[in-house]
Amino acid sequence: MIIRKGKLEDLKELMEILIDTIKSKGETYSKQWVRACLIGNKDLVLVAEENGDISGLLIAELWPEKNYSYLENLYVRPEFRRKRVAYKLMKEYENICKKGRMDMISCLTLTDNLAMQKFLKKFNYEFGPAFYLCRKNLKI
């Protein structure tokens, strides 16, 4: 397995992977947004690649001017889970943050997402207060 930065050529495969999150959680990962993350320098896209296929991805906002990064999404394809794919993505992400003057990472996780919570505990993330996710569909 290799961990590398995402490339524009990965866009189609990344969207196929993200569609799972989009459908199950109503997330707003549009193709335009993922494309912007891949070509810009405000965001980081890391992928784990196995024999030419993407097994996992990590997307984060980088705010070196705030010494801070926000982990937007970490996703491993179901058939590759519990093989340390997310672990390796996260290690690389934290190293990039440290080198880039970002000394704080935060992320949100659902209260019923026990796998992610265990994962974050393994990485010594502190758990802050719980929030309500308040949303309004402006098209209605």
Ligand X SMILES: CC(C)(COP(=O)(O)OP(=O)(O)OC[C@H]1O[C@@H](n2cnc3c(N)ncnc32)[C@H](O)[C@@H]1OP(=O)(O)O)[C@@H](O)C(=O)NCCC(=O)NCCS
Give the residues lining the site for ligand X (CB under 6 A): 74-76, 81-87, 109, 113, 115-116, 118-119, 122
CB of 139 to ligand X, least distance (A): 26
Q: Which is nearer to ligand X, 66 or 122 (CB)?
A: 122
DSSP annotation string for 72-125: EEEEE-GGGTTSSHHHHHHHHHHHHHHHTT--EEE----TT-HHHHHHHHHTT-
* Pair of tokens at residue 37: 């993350």
Q: Which is nearer to ligand X, 16 or 101 (CB)?
A: 16
Distance CA 29, CA 68 (A): 22
CB of 58 to ligand X, least distance (A): 9
CB of 67 to ligand X, least distance (A): 22
Q: Which is nearer to ligand X, 104 or 110 (CB)?
A: 110
Distance CA 104, CA 131 (A): 20
